[in-house]
Amino acid sequence: MLKKKMFRDIRKNLSQFIAIFLMIMIGIMAYSGIKAYMDGMKKTSDKFYSENNLFDLNVVGPLTHNDLKTIKDIDNVKDAELKLSVNATTDKEKTLLLNFIESNNISKFYVLDGEKFNPNKSGIWLDNFYCEENNIDVGDTILVKYESMELHEKVLGKINVPDHLYDTRDSSELYPDRKDFGFAYMSTNEITEDYIKSLVMKEMNIKDEKVFDTIMLNFNYKDYIPYSSIMVDVKNKNKKYKVKNNIEDKVENAKAIINVEDTSSYVTYQGEIDEGKTYVGVFSGIFLFIAMLSIITTMTRVIKKERVQIGTLKALGFSNRKVLLHYIGYGFWISIFACITGLILGYYVIGNIFINLEMAFFEIPNGAPSMNISSYYVSLIVIGIVALIIYITGRNILKENPAETLRTKIPSIKGNILNITKKKFFKKFKFETIWNIRDILRNKMRTFMGLAGVVGCCTLIVCALGMLDSMNFFVKLQFEDLYNFDYKLNIKEDIKNNELQVLYDKYGTNTSKSLGIEIKDKNGKREANNIFVTDASNYVRFVDNKNRIKDKPNNKGIYVTYKLASTKGYKKGDIITWHIYGDNKYYKSKIIGFNKDPQNQNISMTRKYLESLGIKYKPDSLYTNIDLSNTKEIKNIETIQDIEKLKEGMAGMLSMMKTMLILIIGIAVILGGIIIYNLGILSYTEKEYQFATLKVLGFKDKQIKNIFIKQNNWIAIISIILGLPMGFYLTDWLFKTAIEEHYDFGAYITLRTYIISAIGTFIVSYLVSKFLARKVKKIDMVTSLKGNE
């Protein structure tokens, strides 16, 4: 009998139970989906790094086989491999980060198509994304050029490599240009003897090859390959820093020793995971919070509405326990089905969509969402909360005797609360305004729940759109305000002074240099960073923390970025102790000011200040506004970067972000609509008796509809007023906490976003109110008025 009654009651209140189902489902779907995608990223990378043996340390410098042997002999070193990395070009003038290796036991290839690495095999293994963008297949032959080397190589495999998840040409690029830039690997056997001989002759200042052959009788060119790094695999990861110190002491040619956790590829991917952890807590947390508030209100009202039925069941002899379990079942079964549906949709819809977007962004194979046990715990908590609310509400009713329960409970209202509407000020208002004020005061909890739900949804919409606004503003700040040039030329490292002068004469003298450094704190702890040395006049500018252009640092000290200063506790006037990688001499520099850099938290100084420290200035970048759109290659320039292409790359990153935000906005709008509809149904149900009374008193349907719609409009307007600033603060907080430490973003939300969010929220609320107001015509006068006797 009780089961039939449950199904009958659910059919009778179908719209409210559907709303409960949808709210729980959407909340669980949002949480489990975002969580599954973030855990999927973590699980995918952990597996990829482990199975393909990502290096622990990367030793950078002009290294040899003797250095390799020294490193291998160091205690706790499991293995080490030499690598030569150069920026090469192809026959289509695209750039390849070309790596020559002797073996592939560290940072091993994941071959998507083709064959495994074989040092004795002639050919090239290419970046899979680069192949896809340029329609290159295994078996094709491509031309690779580097200085005097021109190699026609057969593509032996399309690969992913664990230290190349996210490759950009240099730090000025935020988004990888997969079509024009990729990585490639070849055996060191492919390096030509002529090329190595020319390098050695240049170093020995010998121009005649016969003279060289006479001097170097037993010349073995492989002994003179100028390797640029050694990848190190450590046995005990906890002793990695000890290995690092030993390499510094024993390998004189080691200019820098970089932890894998400090490499841009690792940092960027890990940063994406860390951002997602914040999103899980914020977005899905808000979804669940506002959904649970509405569910609590709904279930409480539904059970209280069953008061007379509860009294009837008690009078018929049903025990309190049986009655209580019956009503707990209302929410329990709906919650279970909603949670199961939410978990399934979260994994297969949200999780899959988001991780596929990420896998199109990072070069990592077999990306898949991973359902975390916490999603099941959250589902159980939601089910438990719903059951607990019903239990508490039902138990309070069951405490009364059947005679009391069979009568509709008269609400307890303090007269002095409603007396406010009798004041002189309120007497000027129309009847419907006074009536709505009194109704709000009588039903404070329902009003609060309505406000909380609509505020939460408005906040989420502002936040999602505001994040996009902020990223667009960042692009403008980076590529229009800070970068005041059209082209950036990356100068080759071995350029001579006379060759540099040729570039100056043709393209100007606006240059800069980046120095890899280690900063030592008061406790002797060292951390990697970099110094940006500017001699670029107004081509590279500086801004303060309010994004206003400011003067570059003077010649008496350094600028530190605001975020780095905040992280490390630096103040103006502090002294920073640092040394350049490859040089053990330490320098002390005074902080004379701060600047904002959206994508690189570092130190800045002028060329004159650098030279005052006794350090030679040799630029690595040259900036110009000369039109180079038709120029493919410049002597002694590694790459030509067009500012417009850098912007386009950022636009690609924004398009991925836009897709994610559209999903979040969509969920927020749907959830907001359901909550507004659900609260509207509750509001209307509670007012049905009063509306019937107003009809008896001669009020027309149109007047009663206006009373109902007006109150909901008030709640919507107040919610929007609260939700708009909360959306800003949420966006700002997300950028300051979720974005990884190399970036310095802040909220920048346009007036258009506020207007769209406000109008959108109000329209949804108004349309729902308008739809529900139609029920006024269908009020059963007898049932409504007699039901409370």
Query: Tell me, what amino acid is at 541?
Result: R
Cα(129)–Cα(159) distance, integer angstroms:
9
3-state SS, residue 255: coil
DSSP code at position 422:
G
Query: Are β-strands 110-114 and 558-561 bridged in parallel, bridged antiparallel, or unpaired?
Result: unpaired
Quick check: 704 and 443 in contact, CB under 8 A?
Answer: no
State yes or no: pLDDT of 78 exceeds 70: yes
State yes or no: pLDDT of 34 exceeds 90: no
Question: Greater confidence, 520 or 524?
Answer: 520
Per-residue model confidence (pLDDT) at position 633: 81
| Structure confidence at residue 38 as a pLDDT band (50, 70, 90) | confident
Q: Can you spell out the DSSP letters for 543-587?
A: E-TTS-EEPPP-TTSEEEEHHHHHHHT--TT-EEEEEETT---EE
Which tens digits make up the pLDDT trace of 454-473? 887 788 788 888 888 888 88
The alpha carbon of 212 is separated from its chain's Cα centroid by a whole number of angstroms, namely 56
Residues with Cβ < 8 Å from 218, sequence gap 6 or more?
A: none
What are the phi and psi torsion angles at 332 (to 5°)? Answer: -60, -50
Lowest-pLDDT range, 315-329, 368-382, 595-609? Answer: 315-329
Per-residue model confidence (pLDDT) at position 669: 73
Report, as an integer, the average pLDDT of 380-408: 73
Report, as an integer, the average pLDDT of 675-702: 74
Question: Greater confidence, 174 or 129?
Answer: 129
Per-residue model confidence (pLDDT) at position 421: 57
Question: Greater confidence, 581 or 541?
Answer: 541
Q: Can you spell out the DSSP letters for 709-724?
A: HHHHHHHHHHHHHHHH
Per-residue model confidence (pLDDT) at position 737: 72
Burial 492-511 (b: 16+ CB within 10 A, else e): beebeeeebeebeeebbbbb
Per-residue model confidence (pLDDT) at position 137: 94
Per-residue model confidence (pLDDT) at position 142: 92
Question: Tokens standing for 217?
Answer: 């009788």
Quick check: 457 and 716 in contact, CB under 8 A?
Answer: no
Per-residue model confidence (pLDDT) at position 681: 73
Residue whose entry in the numeric block shows the structure tokens 């094709």: 140
Cα(14)–Cα(79) distance, integer angstroms:
67
Question: Greater confidence, 292 or 139?
Answer: 139
Per-residue model confidence (pLDDT) at position 428: 67
State yes or no: pLDDT of 374 exceeds 90: no
Per-residue model confidence (pLDDT) at position 576: 93
Query: Tell me, what amino acid is at 576?
Result: I
State yes or no: pLDDT of 77 exceeds 90: yes
Lowest-pLDDT range, 164-173, 221-230, 341-350, 533-542? Answer: 164-173
DSSP code at position 540:
B
State yes or no: pLDDT of 410 exceeds 60: no
Say how many C-beta atoms besides its own lie within 10 A of residue 87's C-beta: 16
Q: What share of the chain is helix, strand, coil (3-state, %, to 5)?
A: 55, 20, 25
Global pTM reads 0.73
Lowest-pLDDT range, 48-57, 188-197, 656-665? Answer: 656-665
Taking CA atoms, 532 is separated from 258, 515, 536, 621, in Å, by 19, 7, 11, 11
Burial 393-428 (b: 16+ CB within 10 A, else e): bbeebbebeeeebbeeeeeeeeeeeeeebeeeeeee
Per-residue model confidence (pLDDT) at position 422: 59
Cα(104)–Cα(186) distance, integer angstroms:
11
State yes or no: pLDDT of 609 exceeds 90: yes
Cα(477)–Cα(12) distance, integer angstroms:
57
State yes or no: pLDDT of 184 exceeds 80: yes
- The 3-class SS string of 576-631 reads EEEEECCCCCEEEEEEEEEEECCCCCCEEEEHHHHHHCCCCCCCCEEEECCCCCCC
Residues with Cβ < 8 Å from 619, sequence gap 6 or more?
A: 491, 500, 511, 512, 513, 535
Report, as an integer, the average pLDDT of 492-503: 88
Residues with Cβ < 8 Å from 479, sequence gap 6 or more?
A: 643, 646, 647, 650
| Structure confidence at residue 561 as a pLDDT band (50, 70, 90) | very high
Which tens digits make up the pLDDT trace of 622-654? 999 999 988 878 888 888 888 887 777 666 666
Per-residue model confidence (pLDDT) at position 113: 94
Query: Are β-strands 256-259 and 227-234 bridged in parallel, bridged antiparallel, or unpaired?
Result: unpaired
3-state SS, residue 157: strand
Query: Are β-strands 621-624 and 603-606 bridged in parallel, bridged antiparallel, or unpaired?
Result: unpaired
Which tens digits make up the pLDDT trace of 424-450? 666 667 777 777 777 777 777 777 777
Calculate the CA dihedral of residues 202, 208, 214, 219 and round it to 10 degrees.
40
Mean pLDDT rounded to a whole number for the chain: 83
Which tens digits make up the pLDDT trace of 282-296? 766 776 776 677 677
Per-residue model confidence (pLDDT) at position 621: 93
In this prediction, what percent of the chain has a pLDDT beyond 70? 88
In this prediction, what percent of the chain has a pLDDT beyond 90? 31
Per-residue model confidence (pLDDT) at position 343: 94
Q: Can you spell out the DSSP letters for 101-148?
A: ES--SSS--EEEEE----TTS-SEEEEHHHHHHTT--TT-EEEEEETT
Question: Tokens standing for 59?
Answer: 């030793």
Per-residue model confidence (pLDDT) at position 578: 93
Per-residue model confidence (pLDDT) at position 601: 87
Question: Tokens standing for 629?
Answer: 């759109």
- Taking alpha carbons only, the member of 299, 290, 308, 336 closest to residue 13 is 299
Residues with Cβ < 8 Å from 320, sequence gap 6 or more?
A: 314, 398
Query: Tell me, what amino acid is at 169?
Result: R
| Structure confidence at residue 703 as a pLDDT band (50, 70, 90) | confident
State yes or no: pLDDT of 251 exceeds 80: yes
Per-residue model confidence (pLDDT) at position 785: 52
State yes or no: pLDDT of 140 exceeds 80: yes
∠ CA(487), CA(491), CA(494), 5° rounding?
175
Q: Can you spell out the DSSP letters for 631-642?
A: ----TTEEEEEE
